[in-house]
Amino acid sequence: MELVYSGKVRDLYADGDNLILVASDRVSVYDVVLPTPIPDKGRVLTQLSLWWFGQLTDVVANHVISGTDVPAQWAGRAIRCRRLRMVPVECIARGYLAGLGLVSYNETGTISGVRLPPGLGEGSRLPEPVFTPTTKAAAGHDEPMTFAELTSLTGAEVAAELERVTLEVYRRGAELAGSRGVVIADTKLEFGLDPDGSLVLADEVLTPDSSRFWLASEWQPGRPQRSLDKQFLRDWSSGLEWDRKPPGPAIPPEIVAATRERYLELYARLTGSELG
C-alpha cells in the first residue's frame, strides 16, 4: 500500500480510491514523539474514534467505510475511509479555557472574536462552547482564523455548517463524557466534502490526541489540569533533565504500563465496555 502521509503518531495509506488511516502506538509529550511505544494506544484511539463516529451518526455523516476490512498487520488500529476533499481548517470547539484559548483570553478577553466574562482562569468552564477555527499551517503552528477568513475560504454556507456541526459534536461528546466522569475541555475536528458537496466528519473524533480529557473529579479551575491520558508521562518527564526538544527520553516500563492502563481505562469509562 502506498504511504500518503506519515504524521507524528499516525500514518495514512492509499488503497485504490480508499484511504487507510493507521494509528500507531507512538506517543508525544510536549510535541515530541518519544522513542518508546505505549502498547494498545493505537487500538484504543482507533476503537474510541469508531465508537464516537457511531454515536454521532445522527449529527453528521462520517468518512468510515470499515473498521475491520483493513490489512491484518493493522487489525484493530486502522480505519478504511472514503477519500474526501478536505476542508483546510482545524475546527476546534472549546468548552473550557486551556491552551491557546487561554492565551487569547489572557491577552484580549476574547477567543475567536467572542468576548468572554472577566475573571476566568486556567481550566474555567466557558458560559457556552466557542468555535475557534485555525488554519492548517504546513509547518510551524496553526494560526487562529476569524469567521470572516473562514467564510472567504469555504463560502458562507459551508462556514456556517462547520461551526454548527463542530459545536454540536462537542456538545454531544462533552455531555456523554460528562455523564461518565470525564471532562472534554476542547476538541479538534476535521471535515471533508463529498463529491456532491455535503459535509463529512473525517480523521479521528474525540480521542485524547485530538481533545483535552480531564477527570471530572479532579477538575479545579484556576490551575493547570491533569491530563487524563498523559499525566504519568508529563510528571515523569518533568523530573528529568530534558529540554523538551528531540530526541525524547526512553520511557521506563512502569510508566509505559501506567500510561497504557490510563488509555484502556479511558476507553472503558467512555464506552462502557472493555477493549478486547
Choices 8-16, 107-115, 142-150, 167-175; region in contact with ligand Q0Z by CB under 6 A: 8-16
How many residues bind ligand Q0Z (CB under 6 A)? The answer is 17
The CB-of-85 to ligand Q0Z minimum distance in angstroms stands at 7
Helices (H), the chain: 41-55, 99-108, 147-154, 156-179, 231-238, 253-271
Closest CA to 132 of 175, 182, 87, 166: 166
Does 83 bind ligand Q0Z (CB under 6 A)? Our answer is yes
Between 19 and 233, name the residue whose CB sits nearer to ligand Q0Z. 19
Does 21 bind ligand Q0Z (CB under 6 A)? Our answer is yes
Does 12 bind ligand Q0Z (CB under 6 A)? Our answer is yes
Does 10 bind ligand Q0Z (CB under 6 A)? Our answer is yes
Q: 250: buried, middle or exposed (CB in 10 Å: 19+, 13-18, 0-12)?
A: exposed
Which H/E stretch holds residue 77?
A: none
Sites for ligand Q0Z among residues 186-205 (CB under 6 A): 192, 202-203
The CB-of-57 to ligand Q0Z minimum distance in angstroms stands at 16
Does 90 bind ligand Q0Z (CB under 6 A)? Our answer is no
Grid cell locating 92: 476546534
Q: How far from 171 is each of 47, 51, 156, 175, CA to CA, in Å?
A: 21, 16, 23, 6
Between 82 and 226, name the residue whose CB sits nearer to ligand Q0Z. 82
